């Protein structure tokens, strides 16, 4: 069952409505967060809520409720929806205003929480590995808006996803203006070279994912080394194993990039081990 919390009301998919004058709709003026539910519990709920409020603070947006109430509201919604396995989307927008840009015209932010499910790719893609391309659409310049802000404007990521779809690929790797790897269209990247895992550094213009942080912990737990650094396409083309991480995507192995086969062209043994560790962790 899809359940939606909207500004104090519990609604279904058909009855939940947001004003056409909401600046989240008109201008992408707002922030959001995605969360996963495993076994009836929201994974890393506190970390996700903290990131939502940090994103809001960075754009001078004050959510209508405090963090503790947001946590309690999320837990209540999971119970109401009867979710054992699911996906949550928290959205805080600037709220209804007028057709101008002035945020002072928006008197109260809009809060939406969607309690639902998601499947980014069918199960067989996780067993076969993803086919990726590198996108011509670059990641947003970090000097314009910090990539740490999870804002409602994802147009450049969407255009990179369109490139992947048009090329018959599952997703796209996005580069910064200098040609260095940032992230996929909403996911972080890990690759293995000569026994060491590498992932793009935060200054590469990527969103610091909660699943990314979790995977770094699991790599250390498995006794491996992980390095956050600047990476380019050569590093990816010559990787022995590679995978994407994200709340919605979870741990998604990569089979090829730009027609270059990664490793043996299927899920590598270390990737398989880390996926297993992740699934044990989220359900522990």
Cα 166 off chain centre by: 22
Q: For residue 192, which phi and psi values (nearest 5 degrees)?
A: -110, 130
150 catalytic, yes or no?
yes
Catalytically annotated residue among 41, 150, 161, 266: 150
**∠ CA 190-192-198 to the nearest 5 degrees?**
50
Do residues 148 and 204 lie in contact, with contact meaning Cβ atoms separated by under 8 Å?
no
Based on the number of CB atoms within 10 Å of its own CB, is 6 exposed (0-12), middle (13-18) or buried (19 or more)? middle
**Both tokens of residue 248?**
């919605």
**Both tokens of residue 74?**
């999320």
- List the catalytic residues: 150
């Amino acid at each position: 069952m899809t359940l939606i919390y909207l500004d104090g009301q519990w609604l279904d998919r058909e009855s939940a409505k947001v004003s056409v004058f909401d600046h989240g709709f008109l201008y992408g003026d707002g922030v959001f967060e995605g969360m996963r539910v495993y076994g009836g519990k929201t994974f890393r709920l506190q970390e996700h809520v903290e990131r939502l409020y940090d994103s809001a603070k960075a754009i001078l947006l004050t959510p209508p409720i405090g963090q503790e109430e947001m946590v309690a509201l999320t837990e209540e919604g999971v119970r109401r929806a009867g979710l054992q396995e699911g996906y949550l989307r928290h959205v805080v927008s600037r709220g209804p205003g007028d057709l101008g840009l002035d945020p002072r015209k928006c008197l109260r932010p809009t809060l939406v929480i969607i309690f639902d499910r998601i499947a980014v790719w069918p199960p067989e893609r996780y067993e076969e590995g993803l086919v990726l391309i590198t996108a011509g659409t670059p990641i947003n310049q970090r000097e314009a808006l910090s990539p740490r802000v999870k804002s409602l404007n994802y147009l450049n990521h969407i255009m990179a996803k369109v490139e992947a779809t048009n090329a018959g690929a599952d997703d796209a790797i996005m580069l910064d203006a200098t040609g260095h790897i940032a992230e996929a269209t909403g996911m972080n990247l890990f690759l293995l070279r000569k026994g060491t895992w590498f992932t793009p550094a935060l200054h590469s213009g990527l969103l610091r994912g909660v699943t990314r942080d979790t995977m770094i912990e699991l790599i250390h737990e498995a006794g491996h080394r992980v390095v956050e650094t600047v990476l380019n396409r050569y590093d990816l083309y010559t990787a022995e194993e590679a995978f994407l991480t994200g709340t919605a995507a979870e741990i998604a192995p990569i089979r090829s990039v730009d027609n270059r086969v990664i490793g043996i062209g299927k899920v590598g043994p270390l990737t398989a081990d880390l996926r297993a560790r992740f699934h044990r962790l989220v359900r522990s």
